[in-house]
Amino acid sequence: MNTLDSTRKNPLNIFVSYAHEDQDIALTIQNMLQDTFGVALCKVFIDTRSIPLGGDIKQTIMEELRTAHTMIVVATGVARTSHDWTGWELGAFQMSHPESDGIRGKVIASASTRRRNL
């Protein structure tokens, strides 16, 4: 049973930002959200599944960040072999959601498995 209001006309747009080394985690998050709430109520952006072949990557990401209600950042501390867009996406999300009456699009999750040396 979906816990979101079934009368909602527009889906909740969620942007998942991750490094490709963490793609399995990002895809699990997408599947979990859409299985729980349904595709009609919860649109989850994952670059490898949401950008059409030959599409303008930067333009698509900027538009998705602009229309996202929430951003989930997956940050596990895994060594990156790919270019890391996560910091750029986080800054672009915050810039595209100026605070209005104390309300702004929210970054709701950040996970790290890296341990600090004390």
Residue range 82-107, pLDDT digits in tens: 566 888 888 888 888 877 555 455 55
Residue 23, token pair as written in the block: 């793609």
Predicted local confidence at residue 36, as pLDDT: 93
Predicted local confidence at residue 57, as pLDDT: 83
Predicted local confidence at residue 95, as pLDDT: 86
- All domains of the chain, ordered by start, with CATH? 12-111 (3.40.50)
Instruction: Determine the angle formed by the axes of helices 57-67 and 86-96, rounding to 10 degrees.
Output: 50
Kindly report the pTM of this predicted structure: 0.73
* Residues 33 and 42 sit within 8 Å (Cβ to Cβ): yes
Predicted local confidence at residue 29, as pLDDT: 94
Q: What percentage of the chain's residues is helix, strand, coil (to nearest 5)?
A: 35, 20, 45
Helices (H), the chain: 23-37, 47-50, 57-67, 86-96
How many C-beta neighbours within 10 Å does residue 110 have?
A: 13
Q: Does residue 116 carry a pLDDT above 70?
A: no
**How do residues 12-35 score in pLDDT, each as one tens digit?**
999 999 888 889 999 999 999 999
What mean pLDDT is predicted for residues 65-91? 81
